[in-house]
Structure 1
Amino acid sequence: MTGFWQITWLIPPGLLLGALAASALVSALLSLLVIKGGPVDNPRERGSHSDPTPTSGGLAIMAASALIIGLVICFYGAAIPGSWRDGLILFGFASLMGISGAIDDVVDLPALWRLGFQISLCLIFAWFYRVTVLDFGPGLIVTVHPFIGLLGSAAWLILTLNTINFMDGSNGLAIGAQTIAMLVFAGLILLMAPLSFFGAYLGVILLICVCVAGAHIGFAPFNLPPGTPQKAKAFQGDAGSMFAGALIGGATLVVKAYGVGSVWFGGFLLAPLLVDVVLTLITRARKHANVFTPHKEHLYQIWLQRHDGSHWRLAVRIWGLCLFSSLVGVGARFVDRIYHTDIRFFVLAALIIAYTAGWLILRQRLLTRPLLNARP
């Protein structure tokens, strides 16, 4: 194990930057194909767009990521340490979720069918990386039964999938949050893997995070066009949101399995999104509304309807919150490493409480405002 300030690169930095740039370029080119001939999302009551817009941009992201990952492994595999098995399981899991989302973009499958498929695939993935030990703090380590750990890990995956999916209703919001999550994951692995006994096994996971981040960057200008952010040229669709949700949720379990991160790290990455989704579902359940029915009651949707209809300004705010909570999570990991004091759960709980209070106050204030117009 190296000393704290003797951090080495798992993958040569030039290779990582090249993979990031190549993924962005290929994703941008494939996005043009999606715009030309992909399925189209027509305006709906719950949507925030008024014109038919090409969707399934997530397919471009998936294809670009897969192509560059495959080329890098093919030509530079010797420079990438770690288990290819972990990368294959993670990327395969995310791709199957993304393909199911692409089918739903075209066919609009019943909600219960989608949920059933999600549960089945999440249970399979969780079988490989189920969490059986929870660290709540110094001296507060709880061992859970493997079956309970399996169910809990699958539940986390399902929550992550649907969080990204539900929050993908404003141009650039989800794409930016997904990019931040992938880059922060890459940063965490770069910083902490060399200091962990099994950290070198995460080389392929690092490559996946970098390539997927690059693919998101390449697609972002089509989802949040410079100059006309209100008029997206393409959506990532369920293909993209399911793919990214599976990657973020799955990577959380993988880095936990190799001792680089904790099970709480995914909560830091998605804290503002998780708070909005969970509290909105609770609010709808209290009103006896069908939680499977599409709606426009998320806080970010109310913000667009009643306060500021700018997708760009909303996206920047959410990105800032996601980046802040992610960096807090990285900082808590460093505190654990340096001082051997695990404060991650307590810091995450405090962060969630703060975001929850902000959500409740802001929602109450927004609902007193009149609608800006009929459609945000």
Structure 2
Amino acid sequence: MKQYVFIALFTATLTLVLAWAIWRISLKYKLYPGIRERDVHKTPTPRLGGIAMYLGVVAAFAVSAAHPFFSIIWTDPQQPLAILGATSLIVIVGVADDLLDLDWMIKLGAQFLAAGIIAWFGELQIYALPIGGMTVWSGWVSFLLTVFSIVIVMNAVNFIDGLDGLVGGVALIANVIFFAYSYLLVRDTGASTYFTLASFIAAVLIGACVGFLPMNWSPAKLFMGDGGALMLGLLMAVSAIAITGQLDPAIIGDNDAFGRSQLLGAFIPIILPVVIVFLPLLDFGLAVIRRMRAGKSPFAPDRKHLHHRMLDLGHSDRDAVLIFYAWTAIVGLSVLLMYIGTGQDWPGEYLAGVVFGVVGIAACLVVTLLPPTPARSESSAPEHTPQEAS
């Protein structure tokens, strides 16, 4: 565990230092776009924070090559190099969009290319679904399922990049929960080492988010932009595929560590990676439906995302962000607790997860739908609310 703590702290420290430096350089050379018609913030703010996060991630991978605990990553360098190559591509295109506002077709093409690099050259694909021994029946099906899954998660994370600290905080909470899950899963399956590529990526992303949030908390000095949000989505999808999509279904179906609830133990490896990005996926789905019904591109920007609706209900920007944090934590922790309960001879931990989830979701619904302040119009949105990226 201490090795994971080290890599997270290293990434966080480097990301924070680089974010501050990029903020100063951006202000000095005016490396920020003007206010666009769809933007709701009124002060031009640099959007290059994704560069700091990217460099922190790259440095963490470099350190892993020299660290004995993580050196197993580089036994076959094809996977880490593919991950770094795809990440570099998506950050370059994202930063170009943050500065030049690229056409959505260019961004989408780059996303598919990056996902293809992961699936084809990195050979990180969804080979199996841990349900009753189910495997993906075709190499091309596995490839396409992997590529579309990565692209969907990338866009889902990017779509919620609309309030100061929102994406960074949600990704931080999601990766903490996913790290705990992947760590426990490896323990329960009786592996000889607690190290996995999924746990490593989650630890690195935890560090990148912790390092960036001080610069992004309301009022934000620096936005992560498309470069940062797309990178987070890409690596979160890759970490989930690295452990869930390649997990032998027989390990879960036959392992006594999952106790009485064999069915739940089989489904959670699929459920939890989806649950931790539940809000981004929900927002993404609603946005696609809304825009296509209006005869627009599913990637045409608008101001009708979930966080915008919360502002219009009367929540302040900070309150809305904290409520998103609560939703992510409640839903993710509930499933994690239920997973922990599957390894017990009595249902106490499982029931604790169910009760925690029901009570927590009920509380979140009340807070979300009954804000403490009167509803306000769009024109009164906070000055520092970031641009709608997608």
Q: TM-score of the superposition, structure 1-length normalised?
A: 0.79
Q: Where do 1:267-278 residues align within 5 Å?
A: 267-278=274-285
Deviation of 1:146 (Å): 2.7
How big is the shift at 1:47? 2.5
Residue 57 of structure 2 is aligned to residue 65 of structure 1: yes
The equivalent of 1:283 in structure 2 is 290
Residue in structure 2 matched with residue 250 of structure 1 by the alignment: 238
User: Take 1:186 and 1:124, find their aligned partners in 2: how far apart are those partners?
Assistant: 24
Distance 1:44 1:278 in 2: 25
Q: 1:44 corresponds to which residue? A: 36
> Which aligned pairs between 1:11-160 and structure 2 lie closer than 5 A?
12-13=1-2, 15-38=3-26, 39-74=31-66, 77-80=67-70, 82-84=72-74, 85=77, 86-127=79-120, 128-135=123-130, 139=132, 141=134, 143-160=136-153
Match of 1:321 in 2: 327
In structure 2, how many angstroms separate the alpha carbons of the residues matched to 1:198 and 1:125?
Answer: 25
Report 1:174-323 matches (<5 A). Answer: 174-196=167-189, 200=193, 202-224=195-217, 229=218, 231-256=219-244, 257-258=246-247, 262-308=269-315, 310-323=316-329
Letter in structure 1 aligned against 2:65: I
Name the residue aligned to 2:164: 171
Show structure 2 runs of 5+ residues with no match. 253-267, 348-352, 383-390
Structure 1 pair 165/217, CA: closer, same or farther in 2 (3 Å)? same
The amino acid across from 1:313 in the alignment is D
Give the drift of 1:154. Answer: 1.2
8 A contact 1:133–1:141 mirrored in 2: yes
Q: Is the 8 A contact 1:47 1:169 kept in 2?
A: no
In 2, the alpha carbon distance for the partners of 1:27 and 1:289 equals 37
Q: Report the Cα distance in structure 1 between the residues aligned to 2:156 and 2:183, rounded to whole angstroms.
A: 26
Distance 2:185 2:130 in 1: 18
Query: Greater CA deviation, 234-243 or 283-292?
Result: 283-292
Deviation at 1:164, TM superposition (A): 1.0
SS at match of 1:48: coil
Is 1:330 the counterpart of 2:336? The answer is: yes
* 8 Å Cα contact 2:125-2:143 kept in structure 1: yes
> 1:34 Cα shift?
1.3
Q: Is the 8 A contact 1:55 1:236 kept in 2?
A: yes
Q: Tell me if structure 2 keeps the 8 A contact 1:57–1:236.
A: yes
The residue type equivalent to 2:25 in the other structure is G
**Is the partner of 2:269 in helix, strand or coil?**
coil
Comparing 147-156 with 80-89, greater Cα deviation is found at: 80-89
Query: Does the CA contact (< 8 Å) of 2:64 and 2:70 recur in 1?
Result: no
Letter in 2 for 1:65: V
Quote how far apart the aligned CAs of 1:197 are: 5.5
1:48 and 1:268 map into 2 onto residues whose CA distance is 29
Distance across 2 between alignment mates of 1:170 and 1:285: 24
- Please identify, of 277-286 and 194-203, the stretch whose mean Cα deviation from structure 2 is larger: 194-203
Evaluate the alpha carbon distance shift between residue 154 and residue 338 of structure 1 in structure 2; reply closer, same or farther with a 3 A threshold: farther
How many residues are treated as equivalent by the alignment?
343
8 A Cα contact 2:65 2:71, kept in partner: no
The one-letter code matched in structure 2 to 1:267 is: V
Deviation of 1:374 after TM superposition, in Å, equals 4.6
Residue 24 to residue 54, structure 1, CA distance change in 2 (3 Å)? same
Question: Judging changes above 3 Å, is the alpha-carbon distance between structure 1 residues 199 and 60 closer, same or farther for their aligned structure 2 residues?
Answer: farther
- Relative distance call for 1:83 and 1:21 in structure 2 (3 A) is closer
Q: 1:203 to 1:140 in 2, by over 3 A?
A: closer
Cα distance between partner residues in 1 of 2:302 and 2:110:
22
Structure-2-length-normalised TM-score: 0.77
Q: Distance in 2 between matches of 1:306 and 1:296?
A: 14
Q: Rate the CA distance shift 1:185–1:90 in 2: closer, same or farther, 3 A.
A: farther
Name the CA shift for 1:200/1:175 in 2 (closer, same or farther; >3 Å). same
Deviations 1:226-262 (A, max 9, x none): xxx2x31000011100110100111111011145973
Residue deviations 1:256-296, cap 9 Å, x none?
A: 11459734332111112211220222122223233222111
Matched AA of 1:105: D
Q: Which amino acid in the other structure matches residue 116 of structure 1?
A: G
Query: What does residue 377 of structure 2 align with?
Result: 371
Paired residues of 2:291 and 2:300 also in contact (CA < 8 A): no
Distance in 1 (alpha carbons) for counterparts of 2:307 and 2:327: 13
Mapped partners of 2:378, 2:101: distance in 1: 30
Over the matched positions of the two proteins, sequence identity in percent amounts to 22
Quick check: 2:53–2:212 contact (8 Å CA) kept in 1?
yes
What letter is aligned with 2:157? I
